[in-house]
Amino acid sequence: MQQIPVMWLIEQTSLSAGAKLAELQSIRKREMKRQHELLSATLLLMLAGAAHAIAVDPDGAGLGPAVDVRRLGWAPGNSLITPVGSASIFTHPLGDVFQRYTHASLARFEDSKGVSIGISSPSPWTFIAGYREQVVSTVGNSVVLDTIGGGENFFRLYFDPTPNANSGNGTGYGPDATNPDAGLALSGTIDASIGQTAISALRVQPGNLDTSGSDNYPEVDSIAARGNGTLAVIINHVDMAYFPEGFNPGLGLHFQTVLDLPFSRTDPSSCFKNGANMLIDGVGPNTLGGRECDANTVGNINGIDGTNLMLMTDSSSSFTQAASVPEPASLALLGVGLAAMVRPRRSRKAGH
């Protein structure tokens, strides 16, 4: 069997022994830095507080009452990673910048006691998001990307009274030509200081990109990959029809996401939606019918020969409330520690 090189593999076999040692030391240094940053991010999340309940009316103007919601459980969804400037999906050296687009439908709410609240099917709740990320570590066949600012940075949660979200076509996750009646329930921006994603390619032969039900993209294969990520939304608007008590400044929605290839539990999306609510090309033409996008941007083998990379997502998210009334003495002390820990990442971003 022919071994196909996987995209994240960066072993430099032609390096001299000295250069290899230097490379190893630099990898080790970066790994330590990464651990440090993960710890900082974790501390920030702890400071922001555990999951926080917020009043949500799951059916909006419908008869159901508002409930205290703590977490949102999302159905498997789609993520598209697109290079910015000369960045490369295949080689992804340190410093490469990518623009991400992602969408999913909500599967369930979880109340403040941890009890699942089912919602009608098909789900009327969807989100779309976009943000930039930058390669901060490449070790073996794994890559780590930090969420950064700039580019298209948005988060939008929609309620659609006549649900139209279609994973295979990537349409209907908000207002578009297939779905004029989706209403914006909540919006915000992606926190550029704490999100992070790690992706590892697995050493296997490429297979079908779409193994969810029938193969709706018979001409597109994919590497196998696995990953996980965190993302923090800073909420800056809610519609009181769905969030009847409004929200306090500092309310966030923190995502934990598992990434997978191939697409085993939902169809890969033909289209994605950008920050201007325009449909953009994902995998392009499929066998599903309906509105789809014209161009395949991931190539014949997703992860090897396309401009873009697609991943299946499985996310849950928690509402969090940043501390607004600090205890002067204890928080000041903690603040000094945090400031010291957070500085390395900030200064690295400034170009040191």
The residues that touch Ca ion, with contacts defined as CB under 5 A, are: 57, 59, 62, 64, 160, 162, 164, 179, 181, 210, 212-213, 216, 267
The number of helix segments (H) and strand segments (E) in the chain equals 2, 16
What are 344's two structure tokens? 């390395």
Smaller CB separation from Ca ion, 132 or 273: 273
334 membership: H or E segment, kind and range: helix 328-349
Closer Cβ to Ca ion, 178 or 189, answer by number: 178
Q: Torsions phi, psi of 72, nearest 5?
A: -120, 125
- Smallest distance, Ca ion to C-beta of residue 246, A: 16
- Which CB, 93 or 244, lies closer to Ca ion? 244
152 within 8 A of 131, measured Cβ to Cβ? yes
Taking the least distance from each CB to Ca ion, the nearer of 37 and 160 is: 160
38/288 with CB nearer Ca ion:
288
Q: Whole-number minimum distance, CB 342 to Ca ion, in Å?
A: 41
Q: Distance between CA atoms of 75 and 53, rounded to whole angstroms? A: 21
**Rounded CA separation 97/86 (Å):** 9
Omega before residue 180 within 30° of 0, cis:
no
**Smallest distance, Ca ion to C-beta of residue 148, A:** 33
Coil, strand, or helix at residue 199?
strand
Residues 70 and 239: their CA atoms lie apart, in Å, by: 18
Residue 141 φ/ψ, nearest 5 degrees: -105, 30
**Shortest Cβ 27–Ca ion spacing (Å):** 38
CB 4 within 8 A of CB 206: yes
- Which residue sits closest to Ca ion, CB atoms considered? 162
Based on CB atoms, which residue is closest to Ca ion, 7 or 220? 220
Q: Whole-number minimum distance, CB 216 to Ca ion, in Å? A: 4
Nearer to Ca ion by Cβ, of 210 and 281: the residue is 210
What's the rounded Cα separation, in Å, for the pair 91 and 128?
27
CB of 151 to Ca ion, least distance (A): 28
Please answer whether residues 324 and 248 qualify as being in contact, where contact means their C-beta atoms are separated by less than 8 angstroms: yes
**Cβ closer to Ca ion: 133 or 160?**
160
Min separation Cβ 57 and Ca ion, Å: 4
Least separation in angstroms between residue 338's CB and Ca ion is: 40
In the complex, what is the shortest distance from the CB of residue 12 to Ca ion, in angstroms, rounded to a whole number?
38
Q: Which of 174/229 has CB closer to Ca ion? A: 174
Residue 138: both structure tokens together: 């490449």
Q: 268: cis peptide before it, omega within 30°?
A: no
Rounded CA-CA distance 8/131 in Å is 21
Structure tokens at 107: 């599967």
Rounded-to-integer distance, Cα 320 and Cα 318, Å: 6
SS3 string of 258-279? EEEECECCCCCCCEEECCCCCE
